[in-house]
Amino acid sequence: MASTSPNLQKAIDLASKAAQEDKAGNYEEALQLYQHAVQYFLHVVKYEAQGDKAKQSIRAKCTEYLDRAEKLKEYLKNKEKKAQKPVKEGQPSPADEKGNDSDGEGESDDPEKKKLQNQLQGCFRFHF
């Protein structure tokens, strides 16, 4: 098999480091590492990857990493809200007042997520 490109190797290294930080409970660091890894993977898919099988494999990993990054981001956001505004016992929390568990409905309020999703979608459109 051909040698791995420097950008692909960097993406793999970032993803591995992200997984290590994630397992260690360093979620903020893991989130940033996942996001950087996805950016490198997308660059590889767009400019360097040869063969549809390789591109498909990278896209699948990007989707996994984006999903995990989104879960971490949501966790950190909720953790931050709880630390800032402790809720008195017996009162509903702000999340309870909304009455829904947003599955992607609040996407527009996160420009970084939107940017990465658009890049990923762009890769899907151009290479299928």
- Mean pLDDT of the residues in the chain: 78
**For residue 88, pLDDT beyond 80:** no
Residue 93 has pLDDT above 70, yes or no: no
User: Is 127 within 8 Å of 55 (Cβ atoms)?
Assistant: yes
Q: Which residue has the tokens 């480091």?
A: 17
Q: What is the spatial distance between Cα 5 and Cα 16, in angstroms, rounded to a whole number? A: 16
Q: What is the 3-state secondary structure (H, E, C) of 14-38?
A: HHHHHHHHHHHCCHHHHHHHHHHHH
**Nearest-angstrom CA–CA distance, 14 and 29:** 11
Please give the residue that has the higher pLDDT: either 41 or 122: 41
- Domains along the sequence of the chain with CATH: 6-83 (1.20.58.80)
pLDDT tens digits for 51-76? Answer: 889 889 999 999 999 999 999 999 99
The identity of residue 111, as a single letter, is P
103 pLDDT more than 90: no
